[in-house]
Structures are given as C-alpha cells and as structure tokens.
Chains A and B, each alone.
Chain A
C-alpha cells in the first residue's frame, strides 16, 4: 500500500513537472542561479585559499650566523628548529654556498667583486631559512631562536631578519585574516539570500496551484497524498538546477583559469573543477534538492489547512 502510494505520488510529481513546463523551467533557472552563486563561493574560497597560501609561502625568516661559527653548531640549531611543531621546513645554506650565491647575484658589480676577491677568508656566515606553518607562528619561532642563542653566548647568531621584517609580517598576517573573515561573512550572506530566493520562487510556483491543493483535500486526499507530488517536483527543480549550474561552470572556469594563473602562478581553477567535480556537484545537488523540497513542503502546508 505504501509502495503504491509512493509510486503514485512520484509519478504525479514527474507528470506535473513536465506538464507545468514553463513554471518548472523558470523555477529551475532561478534556482540554478542561486546554486551557481553557492558554487561560485566554493570556487572563490578555493582560489582565495590557494592565493593566500601562495602569499604566505613567500614569507620566511632567515637566521644569519657569524662567519666564524663551526658548521656542526649551525646544524645543531637547524635540527632543533626543525623539530618545532610550528615549523614547516628549514633550509640550510652553508657559508661557501652563501658566498657563491652572493657572487652570482653581484657578478656585474666589478668593485664589489674585486673587494671580495681581495679578502682572504669568506666574509659571509651560514644561513638557515625557516618556514613556519602559519604566518602568526613566526614570532614564537624567532623567540625560540633567541633563547637558543643566549646560552651559547650571543656570539653565534649574527641576526634574525624576523625582527627587521616583523611589522610587514604582522600586517600581512592581519590582512590575510581579515580577507578570510570577510570571505566567510560574504558567503553567509549570499547563502542566506540564495535560500530566500529559492524559497520564494517555489512558493510562487505552488501559489498557482493553491486551488488545486484545496480540491485534492476536498475529494478525499490525505495531506501526504496531496503534498507529495509537489515535494517530488521541488526535488526535481533542485536536481536540474544543480546540473545546469555545474554545466555553466565549465566554460566559465576554462575562461577564468588562465587569468587566475597569471596572477597566482601555480593556482589552477580548472584542475580544481575537474578534481572536485563529484564533490561540488554533490554539494550543489544536496543543497538544491533539500532547499527546494523543504520549500515545497512549507509552501504546500499553507493550503492544506482545510
């Protein structure tokens, strides 16, 4: 019995969807646009995360050691830094390599090159470059280095450039944080607007059937039997809207991809779209079907009172 009812309700939903072609089409278009907005948020977030990560990745701190320090002392500090939780990676540049790099950078500066040649020993010390997992963690890494250098007498570390760059790093950290917060607020607002627009669209679509819902009740249909087809219809709006939104994204992503890549090298939106197609489609489908069918249910209930 329940199976028969379910079959009849589903069939009626499909038939109504098809016969109310224009109403269905306009509802799908509006819902597709709202799902498109939500999809855009997902893509924007991906691009923003990649871009911010890109910027963050450029920040590091360099520890310059005095040139008379033995390599094993430098390596000992490097190893202890590498063990810190906050640290993502440490790069060691020996004194000899530092000199080579310096020469390479300044090979066109004859005077500088000449004066270097005249020195009998390497004027540069070893350097370690440290990358923290998050920008905000550089402060504590720098503090650790300070504490590390003190017991050895502060003769070992020449300078840590964090203290020179602190202001810039802090400001960048603040900008990145507010960019993320702003993104979150904008997302919430857009999602709320999308849900409201969807709800109203469905409500209008069902408003045109209000008299029929009353008639169904008066000829003996139960609430579930009268409202079921509308919920099926709503779910179909959600399904087709999600499908359309995903299809619209493809040419758009192809078009935008090189533009984003030219600003943030290594960030590929197209790759993200292809790799996450299933997941994004599932999210849009879930939101579409859920919001549309719940909207239908709420809208129909108003006319089931008799």
Chain B
C-alpha cells in the first residue's frame, strides 16, 4: 500500500534528514515509527503527504508516485490520508463540528452526508457533547480527539499521526491510542510516529526504529528499542 523506495531528504551537506530509506507498509497494518527527535520520523511522514519532496528516491501510495502528481491533484491524495499532528492544528475560529465538517466540505461531500456523519464520528471519539465548542475551550486531549475525528471523517485508507500524544497527559494518551486501535480494527492503516515507550509497548504491533535518517530495526510485533 505504501512504499518508500530508497528515499533521501537532504536539506544541506550537514543536515541530512533521511538517507536511502526503503520501507513497505501493507493495508490494515498498525505501524509505530520510533526514534529520537531528529531521527527522520516526521520527515518520512511529510514526504508521504507531499508536504515536502524527496531529494532522491520515490514514495508510492496505492501504487501512485506521490511526487509525480501535479499540484492540483494533491487534494485528492490528501483526502485518502487522514493526518493528526502533535500540536493538533485545528482551525481556531471554527467550532468542533465545523472543524470536522471542513474536511468533508473540502472533499465536496453533500451537505446531507456531512450533517449525518459528523455527529457519528464525534460520538466515536467521545465528544458528542462538545460539538459547538471552539478549540481553545477544549483540553489538549479533547483537541486531539477532534483532530482524529477530522482525520477519519472522509473514511481514509490511511491515518498518519505525528507524535499524536506528545502534548497529552497519560490518561488522554491512553484514550487517543484506544481510538487509533478502534479505527485500525475497522480496517484503516495507521502509522504513528512517537517516542512514547509505553504506547509502543502496549500496542504490541509492528515497530520501525529510526536513527539519524536510517531505519535500524523493523520488528513485526516488537517493543520500543530506540
């Protein structure tokens, strides 16, 4: 489903983010990408979303070379991939409902469909009672749940999360990870970049360990080894 083919990302001679990374991820997998800060986890995810372009190599998503897509086709790709960020990145002047609905509106869904789906998804992430709050009226954990709701509202094939629990307390972390597991059970591929050892160990799923821009371990059902 996803294939990184000898990908390098070189910002300058002294700043090499990725070096000849090859990685293949199949459908319905739940992959933890671990490693210290600066190991290249975020860069790998940014390349997948075409937020940045690789210096060498190619990135394939569902057999399409992501970086060969013209710019106007990027929205189609991004609607198939849900994204969750460490710092939530919600739209601050939109309510919880509108934040989630935005992803559907952007995808050109029918208003009727939006009105039906958004409450269902907000219910799934346990925020049905905060539907008309603004992001700054929510706790960190709640904001991240809104971000997850936004990421899954278009029923993407893949959800990518960059340090989704980095700003959360242990209880919220547990809740957020539970939601990811739930989504994965429903058939969505999940990639999480994290350096939270407990999270990785509790999942007991595939762990890819990175260091200095290279993949140093790939365990089918391992723990945290960075």
Question: Are the chains A and B members of one assembly?
Answer: yes
The B51-95 residues at the A interface (CB cut-off 8 A) are: 51-52, 71-72, 74-76, 78-79, 83, 89-94
A46 to B50, CA, bound (A): 57
Contact A220 B78 (CB under 8 A): yes
Contact A220 B79 (CB under 8 A): yes
Q: Mark A1-22, 1 if CB is under 8 A from B, else 0.
A: 1001100100000011001100
Given A19-B93, A212-B92, CB of A219 within 8 Å of CB of B108: no
Contact A215 B108 (CB under 8 A): no
Contact A225 B89 (CB under 8 A): no
Contact B49 A212 (CB under 8 A): no
A216 to B75, CA, bound (A): 10
A246 to B103, CA, bound (A): 40
Given A220-B75, A220-B78, CB of A212 within 8 Å of CB of B108: no
Measured CB to CB, the nearest residue on chain B to A9 is B105
A303 to B108, CA, bound (A): 22
Interface status of A218 (Cβ within 8 A of chain B):
yes
Contact B91 A218 (CB under 8 A): no
A211 to B93, CA, bound (A): 12
Contact A216 B91 (CB under 8 A): yes
Contact B111 A220 (CB under 8 A): no
- Main DSSP-derived SS at the A contact region: helix
Interface residue count for A (Cβ, 8 Å)?
22
Interface status of B188 (Cβ within 8 A of chain A):
no
B99 to chain A, nearest CB (A): 9
Contact B106 A220 (CB under 8 A): yes
A5 to B75, CA, bound (A): 15
A5 partner, pick from B74, B91, B103, B108, beta carbons under 8 A: B108
A142 to B219, CA, bound (A): 105
A15 to B93, CA, bound (A): 9
B114 to chain A, nearest CB (A): 10
A130 to chain B, nearest CB (A): 70
Contact A221 B51 (CB under 8 A): no
**What chain A residues lie within 8 Å of B106 (beta carbons)?**
216, 219-222, 225-226
**What chain B residues lie within 8 Å of A45 (beta carbons)?**
none
A24 to chain B, nearest CB (A): 11
Q: Indicate the size class of the contact surface on chain B.
A: 20 to 34
Interface status of B107 (Cβ within 8 A of chain A):
yes
The B105-146 residues at the A interface (CB cut-off 8 A) are: 105-108, 110-111
Measured CB to CB, the nearest residue on chain A to B49 is A218
Contact A219 B93 (CB under 8 A): no
Interface status of A66 (Cβ within 8 A of chain B):
no
Q: Mark A233-277, 1 if CB is under 8 A from B, else 0.
A: 000000000000000000000000000000000000000000000
**What chain B residues lie within 8 Å of A148 (beta carbons)?**
none
Interface status of A76 (Cβ within 8 A of chain B):
no
A135 to chain B, nearest CB (A): 60
A219 to chain B, nearest CB (A): 5
**What chain A residues lie within 8 Å of B71 (beta carbons)?**
223
B72 to chain A, nearest CB (A): 7
Contact B108 A218 (CB under 8 A): no
Given A19-B93, A215-B89, CB of A220 within 8 Å of CB of B154: yes
**What chain A residues lie within 8 Å of B52 (beta carbons)?**
306
Measured CB to CB, the nearest residue on chain B to A11 is B105
A218 partner, pick from B51, B76, B94, beta carbons under 8 A: B51
Interface status of B150 (Cβ within 8 A of chain A):
yes
23 CB-based A-B contacts, threshold 8 Å: A4-B108, A5-B108, A15-B93, A15-B94, A16-B93, A212-B91, A215-B89, A218-B49, A218-B51, A218-B83, A218-B89, A219-B78, A219-B102, A219-B150, A220-B75, A220-B154, A221-B75, A222-B75, A222-B106, A223-B71, A225-B75, A225-B106, A226-B106
Give the 7 A-B residue pairs with the shortest CB-CB distance, closest first: A221-B106, A220-B79, A220-B78, A19-B93, A219-B103, A222-B75, A215-B89
Question: Measuring CB to CB, which residues of chain B are less than 8 angstroms from any residue of chain A?
Answer: 49-52, 71-72, 74-76, 78-79, 83, 89-94, 102-103, 105-108, 110-111, 150-151, 154
Question: Measuring CB to CB, which residues of chain A are less than 8 angstroms from any residue of chain B?
Answer: 1, 4-5, 8, 15-16, 19-20, 211-212, 215-223, 225-226, 306
